[in-house]
């Protein structure tokens, strides 16, 4: 028996951590559960994937965050369901955990919209493992082309990014810098200028959530850096060696980065609650789940009313603020105070295109583009990154990259492929794939070096 | 046809890189071949394994080292043999490469001396992947014990290190700091003081290559920090859940670190040359292979006469100096100058035990112990580390660790298990292993999270 109310927080992303941080000095016991033992800073994953940052720079051990809080506990576990009647969280690898209050903050995952071959052969970018897998893959493709330049003809140096939102724009911008400024020197014997970076977007503009001026700036900036942008088209089919567009065009590539959509994390499907668009959990104004006042859903996992008839977007700021709000509702309930409605404070949105190029839209219609927006982006991400050492390391890396045009950690260091993650295509060094083998690649050893 | 003589260097460790660096501005073409696309700084692998440094801090991309040298080429490939008659190096994944001169610098690997179960269940520490696998494993064991404290009884927190040379001493010293100073805080709900760090050494003293005074200092320093040192005993058998000593003692452990011996890399077995102790390639005084004047073996792979009837030890300094010497012999031959004999310049040896504790033995019988030796060790390793950014990062991490008693990158981020590496025991979260399953663990997905 616990003497204090037990708050279970599922997920150690922005939503879950901000909920737990809000509760850490309050008269409650808190258990944070995540399948990773670290918080991952999603906004910078694309920089790990493009060899600008170390994996460890954008991750922070959850236990380290709560070292001094004796009443905050952590469990590295996979949550497979919630028993709302018994007030229990079910785990993949242990007995269930009982809660008095539950905050669901399991985030989101990639949406493939049923596109044939996408789940099998596209590279998602939603976890640190994904980022390291993508980095290894791109570097391996260049190594393969260096060993056998005839592969360039087969499109082995083409990188295709699907989705013209902030993630797609950031990935495409960073890829073109990696290839043009770094790999061109590393592979001085290879025709690196034959590499193509192609960005595909369904709408007739990039950055749908931004103003027209920002959209056009982003398009111009990407194109002037050498990204080929295809607007108004979508992917029909993905194979291990090509992407087929609805226009009939076939682009040979062994590296398709899928930045086209998100949906609520799988956990939402295993809780008996109402789900809305993209599988998100519908919540009341106080972020509690209808019919279960002690259960809250926050961040990307929740479908939160924006107060104007719409839904709040899946952004870090929404997760941070909603996580904190749910924690406060727990305290209100314990203290027998009335609950309050969640009010989102819009702090604006940003996207970076590359060196000295970004767009930022602030509340009240203020817009920034170019070097000023880029500096604002750098500063803000340093502030939101967890841990002094990580900030220091990211700062040193960014300063270095900026001054030298170099990148640091372009290592092919292979992370194990986790079975719960979408499986990435086989490595380029795997002869079967290079020969156009269309059998679904297997994770683990079949994927490794000969 | 190449206009310039082609020098092929196998291995991008200390020996190979120093050979290639010596040749980079000379009238030769150089091809460096390594199975990794990075140089790994072996002396600091144990700090990656104990979460003191990032993996990327101790690795440097080989291509980055030769970005400005248009006549130095790199191939990320596995060398599977040498055809000495045809002057060709055989690769696992491509056509053979012809050489005019060949410098073999493939290094060494772990020697298990036929101990039953060691190759299957012990953790080696000879590559960056090994280091990351070991770090993941130790952190996973603590997570498993936190979920189910009854596992402590089964020895899940016991870490056993076999081998009392510099590597074993360094690993044991770093482990005890990780557990006592970092994990004890991270896992505040776990009886971390029940963890045991045990160091096993066959001789009746640690650090066989050092003076008696240094040996005793190391023993006292380790014991005062809480390492249990067992001298004069060896391992008879390793199982997934225990290590059996020749004395009959059985120590329950799921983490046995094997630092007991090295032998020449496997490549030595696939070259038709005379091999000496530990499989090393016998060389002439100029480091060429008998009967093949244009083929050299250097570093750990070579059995080099110490000029006093013995053999040079497998140390970084021997590799650095012999790699450079072999490169110079190539130049002597091209310039039709006589070859010279290799003379090793002893710069001393060092081993660190932990915070402010190390031993150093300099030429001429000078010895250092304690904080002075520790500072010398830190400085020297910073100097020999490749790359300004890596030095900066290591320096920041060391300063941070020293000032805060914290460690940074204690992430469980899984590297794929490579089939050519000895397979590590299954992860602690794998129920079969925890239940005492003795079937050999499988790499890849069977090893991953449920």
Q: Which stretch, A6-15, A180-189, A392-401, B66-75, has highest mean pLDDT?
A: A6-15
| Tokens representing residue A29 in the block | 């016991």
Contacts of A148 in chain B (CB under 8 A): 94
* Number of CB pairs, chain A paired with chain B, less than 8 A apart: 193
Which residues contact residue A73 at a Cβ distance below 8 angstroms, ignoring those fewer than 6 apart?
Answer: A29, A30, A31, A32, B189
Which is nearest to A314 in space by CA: A10, A9, A14, A38? A14
pLDDT at B30 (0 to 100):
98
Predicted ipTM of the assembly: 0.85
Give the CB-side neighbour count of residue B127, counting CA atoms within 13 A.
27
Least confident range from A395-399, B103-107, B188-192: namely: A395-399
Alpha-carbon distance B149 to nearest alpha carbon in chain A (angstroms): 12
Q: Using one digit for the tens of pLDDT, what is the confidence trace for B324-380?
A: 999 999 999 999 999 999 999 998 889 999 988 999 998 888 899 999 999 888 888
pLDDT at A232 (0 to 100):
96
- Spatial separation of the C-alpha atoms in residues B416 and B412, rounded to whole Å: 12
Q: Using alpha carbons only, give the angle A393, A51, B390 rounded to the nearest 5 degrees.
A: 45
Q: Using one digit for the tens of pLDDT, what is the confidence trace for B8-18?
A: 999 999 999 99
Q: Using alpha carbons only, give the angle B316, B317, B322 rounded to the nearest 5 degrees.
A: 105
Task: State which residue of chain B sits closest to A36, comparing Cα positions.
Answer: B412
Q: Which residues of B242-272 are buried (b: 16+ CB within 10 A; e: fewer)?
A: bbbbeeeeebbbbbbbbbbbbbbbebbeebe
Alpha-carbon distance A358 to nearest alpha carbon in chain B (angstroms): 26
Q: What residues of A are annotated to the active site?
A: 170
Beta bridge partners of B75: B33
pLDDT greater than 70 at residue B435: no
Cα–Cα distance list, A177 to A52, A185, A195, A383, B187 (Å): 10, 12, 12, 25, 42
- Find the helix or strand (DSSP H, E) in which B140 lies: helix B128-147
Q: Using one digit for the tens of pLDDT, what is the confidence trace for B248-305?
A: 999 999 999 999 988 988 898 889 899 998 899 999 999 999 999 999 999 999 999 9
| Tokens representing residue A420 in the block | 């719960």
Contacts of B389 in chain A (CB under 8 A): 396-397, 400, 406, 408
pLDDT at B1 (0 to 100):
56
Catalytic residue among B77, B154, B170, B361: B170
Closest in B75, B390, B417 to A416, CB measured: B417
Least confident range from A210-214, B42-46, B101-105, B275-279: namely: B275-279
Between chains, do B38 and A417 touch, taking CB under 8 Å as contact?
Answer: no
Report helix, strand or coil for B391. helix
The whole-model pTM stands at 0.88
- Spatial separation of the C-alpha atoms in residues B162 and B200, rounded to whole Å: 5
Contacts of A390 in chain B (CB under 8 A): 408
| Tokens representing residue A289 in the block | 């789940």
Distance of CA A417 to the CA centre of its chain: 17
Give the mean pLDDT of chain B: 87
Task: State which residue of chain A sits closest to B181, comparing Cα positions.
Answer: A67
| More confident position, B34 or A387 | B34
- Tell me the pLDDT band of A134, cut-offs 50, 70 and 90: very high
- Spatial separation of the C-alpha atoms in residues A429 and B99, rounded to whole Å: 24
- DSSP 8-class letter at B311: B
pLDDT at A259 (0 to 100):
94
Contacts of B129 in chain A (CB under 8 A): 413-414
Give the CB-side neighbour count of residue B235, counting CA atoms within 13 A.
33
Tell which of A387, A399, A434, A445 to mutate to test the B interface (max B CBs under 10 Å).
Answer: A445
Alpha-carbon distance A151 to nearest alpha carbon in chain B (angstroms): 13
Closest in B55, B92, B139 to A413, CB measured: B55
| Tokens representing residue B29 in the block | 């073409």
Q: Using one digit for the tens of pLDDT, what is the confidence trace for A69-100?
A: 889 999 999 999 999 999 999 999 889 999 99
Are B158 and B252 spatial neighbours (Cβ–Cβ below 8 Å)? Answer: yes
Between chains, do B416 and A444 touch, taking CB under 8 Å as contact?
Answer: yes
Give the mean pLDDT of chain A: 87
Contacts of B148 in chain A (CB under 8 A): 94
Q: Using one digit for the tens of pLDDT, what is the confidence trace for A151-175?
A: 999 999 999 999 999 999 999 999 9
Are A348 and A166 spatial neighbours (Cβ–Cβ below 8 Å)? Answer: no
- Tell me the pLDDT band of B425, cut-offs 50, 70 and 90: very low
Give the CB-side neighbour count of residue A7, counting CA atoms within 13 A.
31
Which residues contact residue A181 at a Cβ distance below 8 angstroms, ignoring those fewer than 6 apart?
Answer: A405
Between chains, do B411 and A55 touch, taking CB under 8 Å as contact?
Answer: yes
Query: What average pLDDT does range B57-76 have in this prediction?
Result: 92
Contacts of A147 in chain B (CB under 8 A): 75-77, 93-94
pLDDT at B427 (0 to 100):
33
pLDDT greater than 70 at residue B440: no
Tell which of A63, A145, A182 to mutate to test the B interface (max B CBs under 10 Å).
Answer: A63
Closest in A38, A93, A389 to B450, CB measured: A93
Direct distance between the N- and C-terminal alpha carbons of chain A, in angstroms, rounded to an integer: 54
pLDDT greater than 50 at residue A434: no
Distance of CA A402 to the CA centre of its chain: 24
């Amino acid at each position: 028996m616990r003497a204090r109310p037990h708050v279970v927080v599922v997920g150690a992303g922005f939503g879950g951590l901000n909920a737990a941080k809000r509760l850490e000095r309050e008269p409650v016991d808190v258990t944070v559960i995540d399948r990773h033992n670290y918080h991952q800073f999603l906004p910078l994953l694309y920089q790990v994937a493009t060899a600008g940052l170390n994996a460890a720079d954008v991750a922070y051990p959850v236990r380290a965050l709560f070292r001094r809080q004796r009443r905050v506990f952590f469990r590295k576990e996979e949550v497979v369901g919630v028993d709302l009647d018994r007030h229990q969280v079910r785990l993949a690898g242990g007995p269930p955990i009982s809660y008095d209050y539950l905050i669901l903050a399991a985030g989101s995952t990639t949406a493939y919209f049923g596109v044939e071959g996408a789940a099998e052969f596209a590279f998602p970018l939603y976890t640190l493992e994904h980022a390291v897998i993508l980095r290894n893959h791109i570097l391996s493709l260049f190594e393969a082309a260096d060993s056998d330049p005839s592969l360039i003809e087969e499109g082995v140096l083409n990188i295709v990014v699907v989705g013209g939102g902030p993630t797609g724009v950031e990935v495409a911008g960073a890829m073109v810098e990696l290839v043009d400024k770094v790999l061109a020197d590393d592979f001085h014997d290879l025709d690196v200028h034959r590499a193509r970076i192609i960005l595909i977007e369904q709408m007739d503009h990039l950055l749908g959530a931004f103003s027209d001026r920002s959209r056009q700036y982003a398009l111009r900036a990407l194109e002037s850096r050498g990204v080929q942008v295809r607007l108004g088209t979508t992917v029909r089919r993905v194979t291990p060696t090509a992407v087929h567009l609805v226009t009939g065009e076939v682009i040979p590539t062994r590296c398709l980065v899928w930045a086209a959509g998100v949906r609520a994390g799988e956990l939402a499907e295993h809780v008996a609650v109402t789900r809305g668009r993209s599988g998100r959990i519908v919540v009341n104004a106080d972020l509690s789940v209808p019919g279960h006042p002690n259960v809250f859903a926050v961040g990307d996992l929740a479908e939160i009313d924006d107060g104007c008839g719409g839904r709040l977007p899946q952004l870090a700021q929404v997760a941070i603020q909603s996580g904190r709000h749910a924690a406060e509702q727990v305290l209100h309930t314990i203290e027998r105070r009335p609950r309050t409605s969640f009010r989102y404070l819009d702090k604006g949105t940003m996207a970076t295109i590359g060196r000295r190029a970004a767009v930022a839209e602030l509340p009240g219609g203020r817009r920034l583009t170019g070097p000023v927006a880029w500096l604002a982006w750098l500063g803000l991400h340093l502030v939101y990154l967890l841990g002094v050492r990580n900030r220091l390391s990211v700062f040193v890396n960014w300063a270095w990259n900026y001054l030298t045009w170099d990148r640091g950690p372009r290592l092919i260091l292979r992370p194990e492929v986790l079975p719960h993650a979408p499986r990435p295509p086989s490595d380029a060094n795997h002869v079967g794939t290079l020969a156009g083998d269309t059998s679904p690649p297997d994770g683990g050893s079949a994927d490794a070096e000969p």
